[in-house]
Amino acid sequence: MTGYGSARAEHRGLALEVEARSVNHRYLSLQLRCPSDLAALEPDIETLLRSKLQRGSVTVQIQLRRKQETAETIVDAAHAKAVAAALRKLAKDLRVRADVSLSDVLAAPGVFTNGRAGGALDDSVRESVLGAVGAAVDELVVSRAREGAALAAELRKHISEMRQMSAAIAARTPAVVKEHHARLRKRLAELLGGAETRVRDEDLAREIALLADRTDVTEELARLRVHLDEADVLLGRGEPVGRRFEFLTQEMLREVNTTGSKSADAEISKHVIALKAELERVREQVANLE
């Protein structure tokens, strides 16, 4: 399901901007785009996302800015002394004459540090980042819920159409049996012509019963109605039902296909084709349902 959410937060000179977007996807696919300072938080962010989302291709982008007025540069004196000592020892070991200058020491990584960077991942900053991500995802969930409500309404229309088609097949079935009966009698009369041989009524009734049994779709229609009832129940739940609905549409298609293969009646075949068309629409829309 598609959706969008955003959130902003400020903490100890840090300005956070979070955007969460999602598009349709059969499973849950997560993409995190965050600055290197927050890389250690990626597992926590992913856990948070998985606790709130079930399906969709979700992209979360985090931008981190430090306010210039609060930025603070610190010289790590202990580290600077260690760098100077290491340089002197290296010169001695190499037996070369070298004077260690201040610029040599200051050029070493880690001598200068940003006062905010050192605390970027303390507990309070972690809570601020996760809080902003959670707020953006909550907004995303609300956005997806609005789309889901509209999608559920559309699915209910398709289910209602399928009920009507199923009822039409059920109403047509008894007439199909009678027509088969009449055609069989007529065909036998044509084949026998003026012959003295006659088919006993009980033999004819047995053949008609066998034919009716082979073309009976009562069980298939009953199971289809059960699946349609289950679809209504799923749409009424306030929880993710997309995957279960997918399996349900597969079972519906199984019953519709069997109904079509059992019946050679043109009118029933027309309803079966219409049922398959509605099911295809349902299947496409369910792929977007969480």
pLDDT band at 192 (very low <50, low <70, confident <90, very high): low
Question: What is the C-alpha to C-alpha distance for residues 38 and 50, in angstroms, rounded to an integer?
Answer: 19
Q: Tokens standing for 268? A: 């029933």
* Cβ neighbours for 84, distance < 8 A, ≥ 6 positions apart: 100, 104, 105
pLDDT in tens, 52-89: 888 888 999 998 887 654 445 667 788 888 888 888 88
Q: Which of 109, 86, 108, 107 is nearest to 98 (CA)?
A: 86
Q: Which of 1, 7, 287 is nearest to 139 (CA)?
A: 7
Predicted model pTM: 0.58
Is pLDDT at 281 greater than 70 in this prediction?
A: yes
* Cβ neighbours for 98, distance < 8 A, ≥ 6 positions apart: 87, 91
In residues, how long is the chain? 290
pLDDT band at 212 (very low <50, low <70, confident <90, very high): low
- Only one residue has tokens 């229609």, namely 221
For the chain, which residues make up each domain, given as ranges? 3-70+116-136, 73-114, 147-286
Question: What is the C-alpha to C-alpha distance for residues 279 and 9, in angstroms, rounded to an integer?
Answer: 46
pLDDT in tens, 83-122: 888 888 888 888 877 778 888 887 787 776 554 444 445 6
- Only one residue has tokens 């997309």, namely 242
Domain boundaries 3-70+116-136, corresponding CATH code: 3.30.230
Q: Tokens standing for 221? A: 């229609």
Window from 7-21, 142-156, 170-184, 256-270 with minimum mean pLDDT? 170-184
Orientation angle between helical segments 123-192 and 201-215, nearest 10 degrees: 160
Question: What is the C-alpha to C-alpha distance for residues 81 and 148, in angstroms, rounded to an integer?
Answer: 62
Q: For residue 7, how far is the Cα from the chain centroid?
A: 23
Partner residues linked to 4 by β-bridges: 21
